[in-house]
């Protein structure tokens, strides 16, 4: 069934901007494979949730819906039911999708949901995370950096610049990891981001 789920999910990404496109979903799938090897999980639930977790992202970015995780959970339930999944699987996948969003107040209550959260957050860290952050800022028309608005003076929740966004959100992601496997990868990727930001500041100052 997972091959069918993947093929049903892919068309939802035809009009999705690069930061959350099908390549993102495929990276999350590979990260999930890496993390899941250390745990006993229901692979059907886990990977159905991986393939379907962002099916609502394009609609949210276009302003058609408010919450891609909530909408995506409902859409995923319909897809899985259509493919003959039992109600327990449908409910478990829907929970994973609702819980994966950083800003939602839905705590993952299953190992599968924890692994999806960790894999999705890991794709926002490291070299790929740096690329995605600036790509998404470009989509929103936000500045890369404002030397007159350092992170500590920025009172926005997510950061008014992409440089500040790293400090407001990205660098905190290791603290949000639910699994030991996710935490180990997150610490390594965070170290890369810290080094990048240090280099960035030195270049802005003309020191490097």
- Res 67: pLDDT: 92
Q: Quick check: helix, strand or coil at residue 164?
A: helix
| Burial letters 5-28, b for 16+ CB under 10 A, else e | bbebbeebbeebbebbbbebbebb
Confidence of residue 15 (pLDDT cuts 50, 70, 90): confident
Render pLDDT for 44-73 as a digit per residue (tens, 0 to 9): 999 999 999 999 999 998 899 999 999 999
Mean pLDDT within 130-158: 92
Mean pLDDT within 166-194: 95
CB atoms within 10 A of CB 102: 14
Greater pLDDT, 102 or 159: 159
Q: Which domains does the chain have, with CATH numbers?
A: 1-107 (1.10.3210.10), 124-208 (1.20.58.1910)
- Res 114: pLDDT: 97
Q: How far apart are CA 13 and CA 55, in angstroms?
A: 7
Which tokens belong to 22?
């099908």
Say yes or no to pLDDT of 106 above 90: no
Mean pLDDT within 152-180: 94
Mean pLDDT within 9-35: 95
Confidence of residue 163 (pLDDT cuts 50, 70, 90): very high
- Res 208: pLDDT: 64
Rounded to 5 degrees, what are φ and ψ at 139? -60, -35
In sequence order, what are the residues at sequence separation of 6 or more whose Cβ sits closer than 8 angstroms to the Cβ of residue 121? 102, 173, 176, 177, 182, 186
Rounded to 5 degrees, what are φ and ψ at 87? -65, -35
Greater pLDDT, 141 or 120: 120
Confidence of residue 186 (pLDDT cuts 50, 70, 90): very high
CB atoms within 10 A of CB 142: 17
């Amino acid at each position: 069934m997972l091959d069918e789920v993947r093929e049903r999910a892919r068309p939802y990404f035809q009009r999705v901007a690069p930061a959350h496109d099908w390549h993102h979903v495929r990276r999350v799938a590979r990260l999930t494979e890496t993390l899941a090897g250390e745990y006993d999980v229901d692979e059907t639930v886990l990977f159905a949730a991986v393939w379907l977790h962002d099916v609502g992202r394009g609609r949210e970015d276009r302003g058609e819906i408010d919450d891609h995780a909530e909408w995506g959970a409902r859409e995923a339930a319909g897809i899985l039911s259509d493919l003959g999944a039992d109600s327990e699987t449908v409910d478990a996948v829907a929970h994973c999708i609702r819980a994966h969003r950083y800003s939602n107040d839905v705590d993952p209550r299953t190992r599968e949901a924890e692994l999806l959260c960790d894999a999705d957050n890991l794709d926002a860290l490291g070299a790929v995370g740096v690329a995605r952050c600036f790509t998404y800022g470009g989509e929103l028309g936000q500045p890369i950096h404002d030397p007159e608005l350092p992170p500590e003076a920025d009172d926005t929740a997510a950061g008014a610049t992409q440089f500040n966004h790293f400090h407001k959100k990205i660098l905190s992601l290791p603290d949000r990891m639910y699994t030991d496997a996710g935490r180990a990868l997150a610490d390594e990727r965070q170290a890369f981001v810290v080094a990048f930001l240090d280099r960035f500041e030195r270049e802005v100052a003309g020191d490097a």
